[in-house]
DNA sequence: CGTGTAAGGAATTCTGACACG
DNA sequence: CGTGTAAGGAATTCTGACACG
């Protein structure tokens, strides 16, 4: 319950591989960093390094972007997830799910 | 019991980072591949990609090399570990531990 | 706002080879 | 055998900017 986390959170993946893994362009990945959705580390020479966790976050971001969610909204959703009050979190997620499902229906058909 | 393995075995780390993680030079890492101790994948353009598992193997290799074990011997130890008969494996490991401890004593003092 | 692209430069990685021992 | 190094080239990554909308 610790060793797995160390693999998941360790920042070791360069942007080219992350691009492959997520299907996002490097431009998009850098932009999401600029918007503070993702926080890579840097090598001594300045190259970005990401974790598997970051890759999963980016995939989640890509899915939300496809659903028309703005980076600003995504950022707020992420900060809500970080509030460690499970009651509020559950309530928020349920509500957001309904709102977003409704929104998607309106826009996809 | 599956998700962790996927992080551990996924080949996503480039040689520069592996060098940092293991303390080995890129030259050494490439040489251990030549000696068939490690098996990175390649990107489309030919860059090597390693997993966390590979990194751990390399650290184990580095430790054995420090103890004077040759790449040839290390390779054989690894293939023994792959024999999935736990009785033989345990016996072999015990024996090798004794032999190697004895060997190290003779050589370090 | 979100993403593409061309620009120029710096750092990364690759291979094959010579060196030493 | 195991590792260092210089060599030349190709691919990677970085930043800042212009473009479109």
User: Is any Cβ of chain A less than 8 angstroms from the Cβ of B7?
Assistant: yes
The pTM (predicted TM-score) of the whole model is 0.81
pLDDT computed for residue B99 by the predictor: 54
Q: Are A12 and A61 within one domain?
A: yes
Q: Residue length, chain B?
A: 109
What's the rounded Cα separation, in Å, for the pair A19 and A42? 17
Q: Are A60 and A72 within one domain?
A: no
A71 CB less than 7 Å from any atom of strand C: yes
Q: Are A78 and A47 within one domain?
A: no
Q: What residues are paired with B13 via a beta bridge?
A: B50
What's the rounded Cα separation, in Å, for the pair B58 and A20? 25
User: Is any Cβ of chain B less than 8 angstroms from the Cβ of A21?
Assistant: yes
Query: Which residues span the domain enclosing A38?
Result: 1-66
For nucleotide D10, the protein residue with its alpha carbon nearest to C1' is B45
Q: Are B53 and B40 within one domain?
A: yes
Q: Are B51 and B93 within one domain?
A: no
Show which positions of strand D are touched by protein (CB under 7 A). Answer: 1-5, 10-15
**Continuous segment of H or E residues that includes residue A42:** strand A41-42
Residue A71: partners with Cβ closer than 8 Å, 6 or more residues away: A31, A32, A35, A37, A61, A65
Q: Are A1 and A23 within one domain?
A: yes
User: Is any Cβ of chain B less than 8 angstroms from the Cβ of A12?
Assistant: yes
pLDDT means per 10 residues, chain B with 109 residues, are 78 98 98 98 98 98 98 94 62 54 47
Per-residue pLDDT band at A3 (split at 50, 70, 90) = low
Q: Are A74 and A37 within one domain?
A: no
Query: Residue B26 CA to nucleotide C6 C1', Å?
Result: 33
Q: Are B107 and B58 within one domain?
A: no
Evaluate whether A40 touches A49 at the Cβ level (below 8 Å).
Answer: yes
Evaluate whether B18 touches B50 at the Cβ level (below 8 Å).
Answer: yes
Q: Are B56 and B4 within one domain?
A: yes
Among candidates B3, B13, B43 on the partner chain, residue whose Cβ is nearest the Cβ of A12: B13
Q: For chain A, what percent of residues have pLDDT higher than 90?
A: 66
Query: Residue A40 CA to nucleotide D18 C1', Å?
Result: 27
Q: Are B59 and B73 within one domain?
A: no
Q: Are A60 and A81 within one domain?
A: no
B70 CB less than 7 Å from any atom of strand D: yes
Q: Are A59 and A93 within one domain?
A: no
Number of structural domains chain B divides into:
2
Residue A57's closest CA among A83, A77, A41, A43? A77
Write the CATH number for B48: 1.10.1660.10
pLDDT computed for residue B82 by the predictor: 74
Mutate to test the interface with A, among B1, B12, B45 (most CBs of A within 10 A): B12
Evaluate whether B51 touches B7 at the Cβ level (below 8 Å).
Answer: no
B39's tokens: 């098996």
Evaluate whether B14 touches B49 at the Cβ level (below 8 Å).
Answer: yes
**Continuous segment of H or E residues that includes residue B96:** helix B86-108
Per-residue pLDDT band at A109 (split at 50, 70, 90) = very low
Q: What is the CA radius of gyration of chain A?
A: 15
């Amino acid at each position: 319950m610790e060793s797995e986390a160390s693999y998941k959170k360790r920042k070791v993946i360069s942007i080219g591989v992350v691009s492959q893994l997520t299907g996002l362009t490097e431009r998009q990945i850098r932009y999401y960093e600029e918007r503070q959705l993702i926080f890579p580390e840097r090598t001594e020479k300045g190259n970005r390094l990401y974790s598997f966790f970051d890759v999963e976050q980016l995939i989640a971001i890509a899915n939300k972007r496809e659903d028309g969610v703005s980076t600003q909204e995504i950022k707020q959703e992420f900060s809500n997830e970080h509030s460690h009050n499970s009651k509020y979190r559950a309530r928020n997620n349920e509500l957001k799910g309904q709102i977003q499902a409704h929104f998607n229906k309106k826009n996809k058909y």
